[in-house]
């Protein structure tokens, strides 16, 4: 495993330097996330691509599943193709391409890899990141995404991902030889598993990069709009002497930060696939050739220079047109600064189209939603349809029947009020349910999560057909929820002023307890150094249950112990979603 990800020139990258410096907790990163292999084979057996499309090409059939998981070569005692693929992604026997990186970067990378929104529009508003007093916090959430792609674009990480992809491509070729030999014997159309792998990963990386880029640029635009308006209308105390006053400097500094974030987003948020077996780059480039190099150290300066060059052209054209029309009106300083800023934005938009093409389809759903809906359609076809959801145990008993009824109503309103800014949420919401279990009726002591774990594992994790038939929904089996006395109080007691404990608004609302049913308090987790002091459960804001926790669990990108480091510094050890170095610092004061 290679060492931690470091920037030699971090001081020259101010918007991401804070994230590089905040790599306090080092973790092992499998650059190609392990769940990707299973999802690829889901596509190879007929599921849609991550973008929701289903190309009309030969795919595998159910009878060929045994070949994937059977010993290889056939009729030997060798490892299956699937086992060999998983080993290539990262294991003790093939660890050379594992990387060390800070948990702050790796956790967001795992989220972005699955196309999950970093922060929903709803959470952005709840945390009041749209307000100017929280501008620095907002910018750190945006620059955190840039830090992830700076990591993915370092030469070592790029090479490791490319080599891993190509090794899996080779294994797919081995698999297709066995499959096509049998297909030839039976007269069935041949299939190219290796081509399917390239097709899948091309679509996957496009979704990952396009969704991340869209999220950053949309929020840059929303933060910029009020600044531009104020810059235009502001009456300077230094008007007429050619010097900005302090407020104009503040506005222009903020606009400069946003410009830097958006420019870096344009050239950083991409994963070039040159050198990936089977990949043919699209031939629709319209800008200078240096914009399309896979080396970000060359691509970045070339793009920045392109924006500057086009900006100068636009400014010159604007000035010439003004004088050619005989317009001799004198601009205010605000109008002049606003025009210069607009020149830069127009230039960047042109350079962005040259480099990245047209923007993403705004209707593209989050991949976990696409996959879940596809699975439900399949279950409907075979007559086994059930909605999905989470088990939730009541482990606090001191309430009256009316108090509990009102609490449940408020809790479910909180939990199901999610999805703003997460495309596709409205289509999946009707199929997500909570399965309530009363611990008192089962004889559990108040707050006894161990008893709840035993019941959950015996009832839902034993794989018996009898128990499965009794469960009214398809439960997530690696996490369940608990209402204990603390979580009940978080919804029924007036919260303290969040600013008194260094929290943003929206980070001190009601929470539930999420429990890992597989956690053994004696043996702990496999890598305790990556989740220090994790004890098998974690508090999480109720509003994050579906769009954040469930989305990551359903995507197979995260388990509870992976999220714990993001909650452990919170004053009440509550998971509030992705956090920034500035936010953690305020908690620790």
DSSP label at residue 522: T
Question: Does the structure show a pLDDT above 60 at 25?
Answer: yes
Query: Please, which pLDDT band fits residue 384 given cuts at 50, 70 and 90?
Result: confident
- Across the chain, what does the average pLDDT equal? 91
Please give the residue range of the domain that contains residue 457. Answer: 367-588
pLDDT band at 500 (very low <50, low <70, confident <90, very high): low
The predicted pLDDT at position 494 comes to 78
Query: How far apart are the C-alpha atoms of 250 and 56, rounded to whole Å?
Result: 55
3-state helix, strand, coil in the chain (%, to 5): 55, 10, 35
Q: For the chain, what percent of residues have pLDDT higher than 90?
A: 75
- 280/318 same-domain check: yes
**Digit-coded pLDDT (tens) for 166-177:** 999 999 999 999
Same domain, 100 and 172: yes
Residue that is last in its domain, among 334, 356, 378: 356
pLDDT band at 10 (very low <50, low <70, confident <90, very high): very low
Mean local confidence (pLDDT), 52-76: 89
Is the pLDDT reported for residue 230 higher than 70? Answer: yes
* Claim to verify: residue 229 and residue 332 sit in the same structural domain: yes
Instruction: Please give the backbone phi and psi of residue 43, each rounded to the nearest 5 degrees, phi first.
Output: -65, -45
Which residues have a Cβ under 8 Å from the Cβ of 258 and sit 6 or more positions away?
139, 220, 223, 224, 227
pLDDT at 239 over 80: no
Collapse the DSSP code of 291 into the 3-class scheme (helix H, G, I; strand E, B; otherwise coil) and give the result.
Answer: helix
pTM greater than 0.75: yes
In a domain, 526, yes or no: yes
Assess whether 437 and 315 both reside in one domain: no
Q: Within this chain, do residues 339 and 376 fall inside the same structural domain, yes or no?
A: no
User: Can you read off the two tokens belonging to residue 8?
Assistant: 């030699």
> Is residue 175 included in any domain, yes or no?
yes
Which two three-digit tokens encode residue 539? 């508090």
Q: Does one domain contain both 133 and 259?
A: yes
Full DSSP string of 316-382? HHHHHHHHHTT--PPPPHHHHHHHHHHHHHHHHHHHHHHHH-SPPPTTPPPHHHHHHHHHHHHHHHT
Cβ atoms of 109 and 148 within 8 Å: the answer is yes
The pair of three-digit structure tokens given for residue 174, joined into one six-digit string? 């081995």
pLDDT score of 5 = 39
- 208 contact partners, CB below 8 Å, separation of at least 6: 112, 113, 114, 115, 271
Give the pLDDT confidence of 132-175 residue by residue, as tens digits: 999 999 999 999 999 999 999 999 999 999 999 999 999 999 99
Domain-embedded: residue 47: yes
Residue, of 60 and 240, whose pLDDT is higher: 60
- Tens digit of each residue's pLDDT (9 = 90 or more) over 407-432: 999 999 999 999 988 888 999 999 99
Task: Let me know if residue 362 belongs to a domain.
Answer: no
Helix, strand, or coil (residue 327): coil
Cα angle vertex 338, ends 337, 342, to 5°? 120
Judge whether residue 4 has pLDDT over 50: no
Q: How many domains is the chain built from?
A: 2
Q: Which residue has 């388990």 as its token pair?
A: 559
**Short-list 69, 78, 148, 65, CA closest to 111:** 148
Q: What is residue 465's predicted lDDT score, i.e. its pLDDT?
A: 54
Which one is predicted more confidently, 361 or 372? 372
Share of the chain above pLDDT 70, in %: 93
What are 460-463's contacts with CB under 8 Å, separation 24+? Answer: 460/391, 461/517
Residue 553: inside a domain = yes
Question: In which element (H, E) is residue 141 found?
Answer: helix 135-152
Question: What was the pLDDT predicted at 551?
Answer: 97
pLDDT score at 421: 85
* Angle subtended by helix axes 103-113 and 193-233, to nearest 10: 110
Asked if pLDDT for residue 77 goes beyond 90, the answer is: no
Three-state secondary-structure class, residue 316:
helix
Q: Cα(436)–Cα(392) distance, rounded to whole angstroms? A: 5
Look at residue 361 and tell me if it is in a domain.
no
- pLDDT at residue 467 greater than cutoff 90: no
Q: How far apart are CA 211 and CA 200, in angstroms?
A: 16
The pLDDT confidence band at residue 1, using thresholds 50, 70 and 90, is very low
Q: What is the pLDDT of residue 498?
A: 62
Instruction: Give 360's pLDDT tier (boundaries 50, 70, 90).
Output: low
d(C-alpha 170, C-alpha 174), whole Å: 6
Q: Which of 356, 377, 395 is the last residue of a domain?
A: 356
Q: Which 3 state secondary structure label does DSSP give 482? A: strand
Instruction: Kindly report whether the peptide bond that precedes residue 73 is cis, defined as omega within 30 degrees of 0.
Output: yes
**Is residue 56 located within the same domain as residue 151?**
yes
* Res. 499: pLDDT tops 80: no
470 and 345 in one domain?
no
Please say whether the beta carbons of 109 and 488 come within 8 A. Answer: no
CA distance 150 to 15: 12
> Do residues 454 and 315 share a domain?
no
Q: Is the pLDDT of residue 196 over 80?
A: yes
Same domain, 347 and 383: no
- Across 95-99, 311-315, 544-548, the highest mean pLDDT is recorded for 544-548
Residue 331: pLDDT band with limits 50, 70, 90 = confident
Question: Are 413 and 500 in a shared domain?
Answer: yes
Final residue belonging to a domain, choices 327, 356, 385: 356
Q: Give the model confidence (pLDDT) of 507-523 as tens digits.
A: 999 999 999 999 999 99
Closest CA to 238 of 229, 226, 246: 246
Alpha carbon distance 482, 469 (integer Å): 23
- Residue 213 lies inside a defined structural domain of this protein: yes
pLDDT (0 to 100) of residue 40? 98
What is the distance between the alpha carbons of residues 220 and 122, in angstroms, rounded to a whole number? Answer: 16
Q: Is the pLDDT of residue 119 over 90?
A: yes
Using N-to-C axis directions, what is the helix angle for 155-186 and 81-89, rounded to 10°?
Answer: 170
CA–CA separation, 4 and 19 (whole Å): 13
**Token pair for residue 584?**
């953690």
Q: Does 474 map to a domain?
A: yes
Q: What is the Cα–Cα distance from 182 to 241, expressed in whole angstroms? A: 83
Give Cα 139 distance to the centre of its chain.
17
Instruction: Name the packing angle between helices 35-44 and 81-89 (round to 10°).
Output: 140
Q: Which of 10-14, 25-29, 347-351 bottoms out in mean pLDDT, i.e. has the lowest?
A: 10-14
Query: Mean pLDDT throughout 330-353?
Result: 90
* Residues 316, 253 share a domain: yes
Q: Does 61 or 361 have the greater pLDDT score?
A: 61
Alpha helices in 357-471 (DSSP H): 367-381, 401-416, 425-428, 449-460, 465-470
């Amino acid at each position: 495993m290679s060492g931690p990800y470091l920037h030699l020139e971090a001081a020259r990258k101010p918007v991401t330097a804070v994230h590089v410096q905040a790599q306090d907790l080092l973790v092992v990163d499998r650059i190609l996330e392990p769940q990707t292999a299973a999802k690829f084979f889901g596509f190879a057996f007929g599921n849609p691509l991550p973008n929701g499309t289903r190309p009309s090409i030969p795919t595998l059939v159910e009878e060929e599943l045994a070949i994937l998981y059977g010993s290889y070569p056939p009729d030997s005692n060798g490892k299956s193709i699937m086992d060999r693929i998983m080993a290539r992604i990262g294991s003790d026997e093939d660890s050379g391409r594992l990387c060390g990186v800070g948990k702050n970067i790796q956790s967001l990378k795992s989220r972005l890899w699955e196309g999950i929104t970093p922060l929903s529009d709803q959470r952005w508003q709840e945390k009041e990141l749209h307000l100017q007093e929280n501008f620095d916090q907002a910018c750190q959430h945006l620059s955190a995404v840039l830090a992830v792609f700076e990591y993915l674009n370092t030469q070592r990480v790029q090479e490791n991902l490319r080599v891993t992809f190509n090794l899996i491509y080779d294994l797919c070729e081995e698999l297709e030889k066995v499959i096509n030999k049998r297909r030839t014997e039976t007269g069935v159309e041949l299939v190219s598993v290796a081509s399917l792998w390239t097709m899948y990963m091309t679509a996957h990386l496009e979704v990952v990069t396009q969704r991340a880029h869209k999220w950053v640029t949309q929020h840059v635009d929303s933060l910029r709009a009020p600044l531009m308006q104020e810059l235009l209308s502001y009456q300077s105390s230094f008007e007429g002497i050619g010097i900005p006053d302090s407020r104009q400097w503040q506005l222009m500094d903020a606009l400069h930060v946003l410009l830097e974030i958006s420019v870096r987003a344009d050239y950083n948020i991409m994963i070039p696939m040159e050198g990936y077996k089977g990949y043919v780059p699209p031939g629709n480039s319209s800008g200078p050739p240096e914009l399309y190099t896979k080396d970000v150290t060359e691509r970045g300066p070339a793009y920045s220079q392109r924006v500057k060059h086009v900006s100068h052209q636009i400014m010159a054209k604007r000035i010439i047109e003004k004088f050619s029309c005989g317009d001799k009106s004198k601009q205010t300083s605000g109008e002049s600064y606003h025009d210069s800023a607009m020149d830069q934005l127009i230039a960047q938009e042109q350079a962005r189209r040259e480099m990245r093409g047209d923007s993403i389809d705004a209707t593209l759903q989050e991949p976990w939603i696409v996959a879940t809906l596809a699975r439900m359609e399949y279950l409907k076809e075979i007559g086994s349809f059930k909605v999905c959801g989470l088990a939730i145990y009541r482990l606090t008993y001191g309430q009256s029947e009316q108090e509990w009824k009102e609490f449940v109503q408020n809790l479910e309103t909180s939990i199901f009020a999610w999805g703003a800014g997460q495309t596709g949420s409205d289509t999946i919401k009707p199929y997500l349910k909570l399965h309530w279990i009363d611990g008192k009726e089962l004889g559990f002591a108040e707050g006894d999560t161990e008893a709840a774990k035993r019941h959950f594992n015996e009832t839902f994790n034993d794989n018996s057909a009898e128990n499965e038939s009794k469960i009214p929904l398809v439960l997530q089996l690696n996490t369940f929820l608990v209402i204990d006395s603390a979580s009940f109080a978080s919804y029924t007691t007036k919260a303290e002023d969040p600013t008194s404990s260094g929290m943003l608004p929206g980070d001190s609302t009601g929470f539930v307890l999420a429990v890992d049913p597989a956690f053994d308090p004696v043996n702990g987790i496999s890598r305790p150094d990556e989740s220090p002091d994790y004890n098998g459960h974690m508090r999480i804001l109720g509003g994050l249950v579906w769009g954040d926790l469930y989305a990551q669990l359903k995507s197979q990108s995260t388990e509870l112990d992976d999220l714990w480091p993001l909650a452990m510094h919170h004053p009440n050890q509550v998971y509030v979603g992705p956090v920034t170095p500035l936010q953690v610092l305020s908690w620790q004061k």
